[in-house]
Amino acid sequence: MRQSKCSGGSDVNQHSGPSKPSTPSVTPSTTTAATTEDERNNNNKRHRSNASSDSAVNSSRIMAHELRKLVDTANAPIFGIDINGNVNEWNFKTAEITGYSREEAFHKPLVSTFISPKLQQSVQEVLDMALKGLETSNYELEFETKAVCKSKNEIF
């Protein structure tokens, strides 16, 4: 048996006998190995990218949970409104001060429902300015509250 190189650079084994045809056996090409290696690398990159993305999503969820806890348990009333002036944030301290639960306050107009009538116009002006991106610092307001008779749990 004699060994020679074929044009692709692969080893070819041939029999040198007169009656037997030559039977080439080609070793695997380096291109196939490189492609397989590239595919593995790409899969690894996608896996790392997905893991990184999942990690970022988890970090965002954890941060949102922590911020939610901070707002809810703050020792100051924190409330928010949407662009229509309806309540979309109402922490525990605001609920404690006003007597209105978060569920009772949500989606109700803040000014006309929860602000003292004598301050409604000025509060509305401050909120309108805030919705335009203009700040007012140290603005004090009065909430209308629910009076609860503690002995009978009645609202009056």
Contact present, 136 and 110 (Cβ < 8 Å): no
Give pTM, 2 decimals.
Answer: 0.57
Q: Where are the domains of the chain?
A: 78-147
SS3 at position 135:
coil
User: What percent of the chain is modeled with pLDDT above 90?
Assistant: 43
Banded pLDDT at 110 (limits 50, 70, 90): very high
3-state helix, strand, coil in the chain (%, to 5): 50, 15, 35
Question: How confident is the model over 28-66, as pLDDT tens digits?
Answer: 444 445 556 777 776 666 666 666 778 888 888 999 989
Widest CA span in the chain: 116
**Long-range pairs of 74-78 with CB within 8 A, sequence gap ≥ 24:** 77/143
Q: By mean pLDDT, which of 37-41, 92-96, 111-115, 146-150 is the weakest?
A: 146-150
Which pLDDT value is given to residue 138? Answer: 87
Residue 24 scores a pLDDT above 80: no
Mean residue pLDDT of the chain comes to: 76
Domain 78-147 has CATH 3.30.450.20: yes
